[in-house]
Each structure stands twice: as structure tokens, then as C-alpha cells.
Structure 1
Amino acid sequence: MMIEFCDKDDAHVGFYTTNHTITSFIATTGTTLIDVQPDGTITNNILSADVSRAMTFLEGLCRDGLTYDKSYGDWVSPQVFSTACNNILFTCTEPEWTYIAETENLQNKAGVDDDIFDTVSEFSFVPFPRDPVADKYYTEYDTFGYLVPKGAKNIDGAIEFINLNRMYDIDPAIQAKVREDHINPQKIYFEKGKYAGSEKWQMKWGEREYDLWREMCDPSNFTFINEDAEGFSTDFTDQIGELLMGVVERGESWAKTSAEFSPIADGTIQPFLS
């Protein structure tokens, strides 16, 4: 698919990636660059067969001219992608934020003239690919939590807010109502002025897109794995980024660069070993 897309001309890009997207690809193998266990065990997997398989795949994309050439800048935001999507086939971002930002950028631009619902655009997304060799559907993850500071004046209110957010994901009745609000929002119309009777713009999801997004949010569908390479120092994080992007941006050989970098990783890890 990417080859056919990119063969149209040099302006067509198959896959836009960042170093974090690359670590997500690596994670689908069930292995990470650096693994840190609760007992203090730290393992350098940079030369492992699993990591090499993922990186060799990405190296091939670059060699075939399918990866991003920075023609739209260092980072392709959802807003940029919304107007460049005819030339970029795949980008990897969080579906909810991206879907909303892209749609708003095209359909609801600044100014009251664009508050009228008169434009329809279509974006599609798919789950992150599963490594066909891996024993499970692994995915890299992050999460967030809530902090109620000591001495807060309204602790009960904070707890209520936290629980309300949780209900969005765990209460079936609320989930059904939220789904209906997303795919079939109640129409709102201008009541006066020159736009009286015109439908106001609001975000709307297709049923397929909404259900797929919620399916992707269900942790029972995946086995989670966390990349620990960025927890040592800012310099090491930057070095990891250069190592990964060298393959995707410059077509560097993973076999060569990983062999050169692995001793550096060992040296970084050594002081942390218990």
C-alpha cells in the first residue's frame, strides 16, 4: 500500500514517525530497548533479535523511500496532517485528540462564518499493528493519575471529579449515553441573525470510528509493555533518539549503529545496577 501511494510522486510520504513511534514498533515484539524490573534488574536489549527485527523493518521503509522527509517540519501535528493527509498515508498519534483536532481544523475554523455545519470531512484510523511473530498483542503504554495535594480545601470535590472521570470508562449506562452523544449529537440551530435556522457546527463521530476508538481503549485487548530507556538521563534519552531516527531518517544500518551504541548503553546502565 505504501509503495503504491509513494510511487505517485516525491511529495507522497508513506509513514511519518518519531523516535517514540519507533519504540512503540519495537514494543510490539514483546521486547524493549532497555528493560527495568522491580527487583532492580536492568537489561540492555539493543542487540536482541526482537529489537533487530523491528528496526530492520523500519530500515527497509527508509531504504524504499517510504518514510517522512520533514517536508512539513519536524513534527506533523493533527492540524498539519488534516491538510497534508492527501500526501501522508500514515501517522501515529492518539486517536481521540487527533480525530477531533483534524476535524475542527477543517470544519470549524475561526470566525462565526465557519460555525455553520456545512462541511464534512473523513479521517480513518487503525490500531497499532501486531507483530505477527510475537506471542501476544503487545503495545507500549502510558497512563496518568490524579494528585490531591495535602491541605486541599475541597478534597471531597476532587474525589468526586476523579470518580466522575472514571465513570466514563466503567459505567455501562454512562458509556451508552456518551456514545450516543458522540455519534448522534442533538442538532443545534442559530435562532436569530442572518444565520437563523442554520445548523451550528459540532463534533460528530461515525459509529465505526467511535467503536474502534473505544475498543482500542480497552486494556483487555492488549498486553502492555513499557520502554524504560528514557529513565536514566537526558543525554541518554537524546542519544537513543538519534540512534533510532538515524535509521528512519538517514537510512543508517541498524546492525552497524546498534553494535556501536550497545556498549554506550551498558556504560549508562552500570551505575544503576544493584
Structure 2
Amino acid sequence: MSAGPALAATSATVPLASPQPRLLYDACPLCSDADISVLRTGDCSRHPLYKPVVAPVMTWMRCAACGHVFTDGYFSDEVSAEIFSATNPNQQPGAGFEQNRYLSARIVERVARFVPDGRWLDVGFGNGSLLFTAEEWGFEPHGLDLRPSTAEGLRRLGIEAHCADLTVLDAPGRYSVISLADVLEHMPYPGEGLAAAHRLLRDGGVIFASMPHYDCSVWRLLDAAEANPYWGELEHFHNFSRRRLYELMEEHGFEPLHYAVSERYRACMEVIARRV
């Protein structure tokens, strides 16, 4: 097996008093325009991983220049570490694998049309279903997750896994596929994640990205019924439209190739894009 990527050192988790303020954006985190205003609020206190170190009310902003929707701020490293100290049982490696295998197979089959083999890095791999299934297609699976117990669980199953942020990996051109399944909306600055993916992919490699689709009919129907869960999604900092996601991908050297409605979560989209 080849040597793994170099990683930056991480600090230890320190318990915090509650609540801790977010680190506020002073401009749009995508286009850097300062013309931003409050769109609405949401309640994250009913989220299964909620901890009182986070204020229960989330404030959502909108950028007048590019139309992007995002929270008014993001978590400090200390707050993030406290949130990531817990994991949903269905996100532990191996959980529900047989049921999730069929869904993951449909994703891998689409990706394999563009890149048939090579190293597949799954960022935020959760239960590992996508990696287990990609291995059946002949890909070499690699995992990256911010939760220490999740990374350790995947290593126990014999798959290379690291507990680190995508932006600290130092392995230029190492991967053929990088999956960002419900990841970019969790990053304070998603462009940094795409820039890192571009650096880590080989020429012609692809990313697979999924996330809620802010500008679709299902989203608007959920809003009308006052039943949209994403305004209170604890770990989300962004709500993307397809248009804005494509623009961001293109800005960071990716060509969108394929769009699909996601089967993973409600009102979500999936995009495959090639490194150019």
C-alpha cells in the first residue's frame, strides 16, 4: 500500500460553557460582496446532535450580489470539536450497509461512467457505504472524517481513514474520485473545499457532490407547509441553488457533467463534475 497523505496537527477538545457565539461573516462567503442582509431564522435546538454550546436560533443571510444563502456565522474550532464528539448511530461505519448498498451502487455506477477506477476519497464518509460499494467496482477506498470515532471505525475495517479537514491533506493528484456527499454545506468557506479537491485530484478526475437544493419546487413546498427541516439543520452553514453551485465549481476549475435528484435526503441534488 502506498504511503498516506501528510496531515497537519490538530488540537485537543476542551469542554466549553454555553452558549458560544458564532464567528460572524462580514461578507458573502462565496463572492465576498458585503451587501448581505437577514433572510430569516430557524430553530436548531431539536436537532439530534444539538448541544447548548450553540445558540438555538440560527440566522440565515442572503447575498444581494450572487444570491447565495448562508448562516450569519460559523462555529469556532472548539465548538466544532464539541459537536463532532457525538455521532448518530446510523453514521457509524458499517451501519445499515446492506440497505444502503443499493443506493450507493446507483451513485458509484454514475461516477464510473466518467472515471472507471483509481483511488476514491470519501469526505465525511459516515457509515462508509459509498466506499464499501465503490470497492466492489474496483476503486481503492480511502476515507476522511472530522469525527475521531468514525475514522477509527473505518480503519478497523481495513480501509485507510484520516480524521482531518479536507484542506489540510497534502497529496496532490493522488485521487481519481473525491466524493463530497452532503459536505460543502458544512464548510464555512466551501470554495476552500473545492480548491483542495482540485489539488488532490489527478487530471481528469471527478468530484461527486450532494446537498440540499435551495431553489427547487420541493423546497418551496416544504417552506409553504412550514415543514422545511433545513432552516434548523445544526451543522449547515449554506443553502445552495444549482445555479450558484455550478458557478462555484466553475470558479474552482471544475466542469459540471451530470445532475441528478438525490435519493439520500429530502429536496437534495447530486452533481458530478470533472477537474479541468
User: Structure 1-normalised TM-score?
Assistant: 0.23
Higher relative helix content: 1
Larger Rg: 1
TM-score, normalising length from structure 2? 0.23
